[in-house]
Chains A and B, each alone.
Chain A
């Protein structure tokens, strides 16, 4: 079993005007293998910043606090080292990488993650199988990474990687946004399949409660203004579904 532990994390960015802006103001969170944590919150509350910071995006500066994976200091690792340590970020806006085919990309990543090239026969079979379960056309393998893919296709390809790379912890950054119901089901099934293997913890970042009908969280954390404002079990999600984020944002406005 593995543990991803975030302690009192403070994160800032430099705005385009060169002004430092604090986004996370002391976030603590512990995730164990087999657990699914949903992070919910209004726009601009810092949900995606948490995801990008865990993955090591250079735009975000950690001012204080720690992230550890089984006691190892994640913040000291480069982006690729974090991935090789078992962290996987399914991106909100996967970039297009022209000139690099999916096949080439997936094999190169798998080789880097495992430290050795996958056996060609099994790998090809695994890729084909995972693609068909996610209803990704076979010809995508020959296309360039994310190039010309629709929003839904890009998200499916993120989950395809999740299923092929078997991370210890998956961070899904608004994987549900922009998906129609059918695509949402397909993507959720993919996450659930991988979760069912029992070797993964999941941090599910979402604005909407819709995806929680398909992926059942063990814990729900509500993010407001860079902090966790409330946490609880799945019932908290149901309450948010009915009430929205108003009581958090209004409270914030009242106290300001």
Chain B
């Protein structure tokens, strides 16, 4: 029995991974700190600095886009030595650089490769999903060619499947929100699967300086799709991107979503994964100038046999930025599997960073598995705050008792709690039609567990 509140609870059934935490490359004495020993009284130990053990000398100051391994190559490619830091992960536009997937790689170790339906082995030549657009006046949505200068500005693939899509897409969809535009209403890209042959897709969302908009990527139908979504949040812009995976039961979807966040920009990213056989979303947010504010939310609801994976990365590369991450998942049925990996990196330069990430999972029945791995890597001690929390609990008997002791029958009590648990994410969406639709979808999922 465990609680849903802030206490991190471990039970025998709790498969949440232990927190992996690392403090590396701490800066020595950049600023005098109150209470810190100074001058000659400071004891020096090799390999240690004021902020802690100097674990990895490899990742001194790596570039914001691309790990160390990318330095050697003009187009971000190259097989350098990946180091233990998140910043050192291989990034490349070329599929070949990633070799062959074995499933033993750190970022694939939870994914059942056999169920990728060839995304990692075949050429992604299938028909890309159809994109239907509804957009407020003034926002342009258009097809752009591979050679468009905006492509490749927000991110570089970090895994083979994303790189394969990058190589294979023929035309990208560009959503362009003009500078200073305060959009009324929502831009919706309805992305409908067009078949089950492995396919590639590329989307670029560009929010001009001081603009304000909400963009929804709404995935439906059936597909075997690898997708790259680039998001450029201009200086002072306020952008919300909501990615809904409401696929048919058999769909396979890998989506790498890269956000580049400008000066004083506010970016909110919401991932909602409900449908599909295997869905793997890898969102990242990289701060490129000071004053940025990022919120990343996620909701996933896995039924029997479903694999829903989310791996996110927040890259604090510059000073005085703030990030908040909250992902919540519910699992029901045999072999429902969810994965949440949250990497936060506070680089040496990123003084004044304020970050917190939370993952909560609720196991509604026996037979599910929730993996939860928060990683926090701190290279400077001169920050506002950094923390993370993860808790995986069963639907709590004490909650149930309290509600039932007030006359509420068990099924209604269960709904009340699950609805409440997930509503914290749904209410972040702030698009009424979409909130209603997702609430209804959650109700449908709940109805399944009762039958």
The interface of chain A, by Cβ under 8 A from chain B, is 55-58, 78-80, 82-84, 88-89, 91, 94-101, 104-105, 108-109, 112-113, 144-145, 147, 161, 165
Given pairs A91-B405, A100-B416, A161-B406, 4 additional interface contacts (CB within 8 A):
A80-B407, A83-B404, A88-B405, A105-B416
Closest to B413 in A: A80
Give the CA-CA distance A88 to B405 in the complex, in Å. 7
Q: Assess whether B4 is in contact with A112, with CB atoms less than 8 Å apart.
A: no
| B429 → chain A closest CB, angstroms | 16
Q: Assess whether B408 is in contact with A109, with CB atoms less than 8 Å apart.
A: yes
| B74 → chain A closest CB, angstroms | 51
Q: Assess whether B420 is in contact with A108, with CB atoms less than 8 Å apart.
A: no
CB pairs A–B below 8 angstroms (6 shown): A58-B397, A84-B407, A100-B420, A109-B406, A112-B407, A113-B407
Q: Assess whether A97 is in contact with B399, with CB atoms less than 8 Å apart.
A: yes
B108: interface (CB < 8 Å) = no
Q: Assess whether A99 is in contact with B398, with CB atoms less than 8 Å apart.
A: no
Q: Assess whether B417 is in contact with A97, with CB atoms less than 8 Å apart.
A: yes
Closest to A145 in B: B402
With A80-B409, A104-B416, A112-B409: A98-B5 Cβ-Cβ less than 8 Å: yes
Q: Assess whether A108 is in contact with B402, with CB atoms less than 8 Å apart.
A: no
With A99-B421, A112-B412: A83-B407 Cβ-Cβ less than 8 Å: yes
Give the CA-CA distance A145 to B413 in the complex, in Å. 13
Residues of the A chain whose Cβ atoms lie less than 8 Å from the Cβ of B404: 78-80, 83
| A53 → chain B closest CB, angstroms | 12
Residues of the B chain whose Cβ atoms lie less than 8 Å from the Cβ of A97: 399, 402-403, 416-417, 420
Q: In residues 410-424 of chain B, which contact A (Cβ within 8 Å)?
A: 410, 412-413, 416-417, 419-424
Q: Assess whether B417 is in contact with A100, with CB atoms less than 8 Å apart.
A: yes
| A116 → chain B closest CB, angstroms | 13
Give the CA-CA distance A98 to B403 in the complex, in Å. 12
Closest to B415 in A: A108
Q: Assess whether A112 is in contact with B406, with CB atoms less than 8 Å apart.
A: yes
With A104-B416, A105-B416: A95-B399 Cβ-Cβ less than 8 Å: yes
What are the 7 closest A-B residue pairs judged by CB atoms, nearest first? A99-B420, A83-B407, A109-B406, A79-B404, A113-B407, A100-B420, A112-B407
Residues of the B chain whose Cβ atoms lie less than 8 Å from the Cβ of A109: 403, 406-408
Residues of the B chain whose Cβ atoms lie less than 8 Å from the Cβ of A144: 420
Give the CA-CA distance A27 to B405 in the complex, in Å. 22
Give the CA-CA distance A88 to B409 in the complex, in Å. 15
Q: In residues 371-428 of chain B, which contact A (Cβ within 8 Å)?
A: 396-399, 401-410, 412-413, 416-417, 419-424
**Residue in B401, B417, B421 with the greatest tally of chain A CB atoms within 10 Å:** B401
Give the CA-CA distance A134 to B408 in the complex, in Å. 24
Closest to A113 in B: B407
Q: Assess whether A95 is in contact with B405, with CB atoms less than 8 Å apart.
A: no
Give the CA-CA distance A98 to B423 in the complex, in Å. 10
Q: In residues 1-43 of chain B, which contact A (Cβ within 8 Å)?
A: 4-5
Closest to A112 in B: B407
Give the CA-CA distance A88 to B406 in the complex, in Å. 7
Give the CA-CA distance A112 to B413 in the complex, in Å. 11
Q: Assess whether B412 is in contact with A98, with CB atoms less than 8 Å apart.
A: no
Q: Assess whether B408 is in contact with A80, with CB atoms less than 8 Å apart.
A: yes
Q: Assess whether A98 is in contact with B420, with CB atoms less than 8 Å apart.
A: yes
- Which residue of B5, B405, B410 contacts A83 across the interface (Cβ within 8 Å)? B405
Q: In residues 108-134 of chain B, which contact A (Cβ within 8 Å)?
A: none
With A80-B407, A80-B409, A112-B407: A94-B402 Cβ-Cβ less than 8 Å: yes
Closest to A89 in B: B405
Give the CA-CA distance A80 to B419 in the complex, in Å. 20
Closest to A52 in B: B401
Residues of the B chain whose Cβ atoms lie less than 8 Å from the Cβ of A112: 406-409, 412
Q: Assess whether B401 is in contact with A79, with CB atoms less than 8 Å apart.
A: yes
Residues of the A chain whose Cβ atoms lie less than 8 Å from the Cβ of B417: 97, 99-100
Q: Assess whether B403 is in contact with A105, with CB atoms less than 8 Å apart.
A: yes
Residues of the A chain whose Cβ atoms lie less than 8 Å from the Cβ of B420: 97-101, 144
Q: Assess whether A98 is in contact with B4, with CB atoms less than 8 Å apart.
A: yes
Residues of the A chain whose Cβ atoms lie less than 8 Å from the Cβ of B413: 80
Give the CA-CA distance A96 to B399 in the complex, in Å. 8
Q: Assess whether B402 is in contact with A83, with CB atoms less than 8 Å apart.
A: no
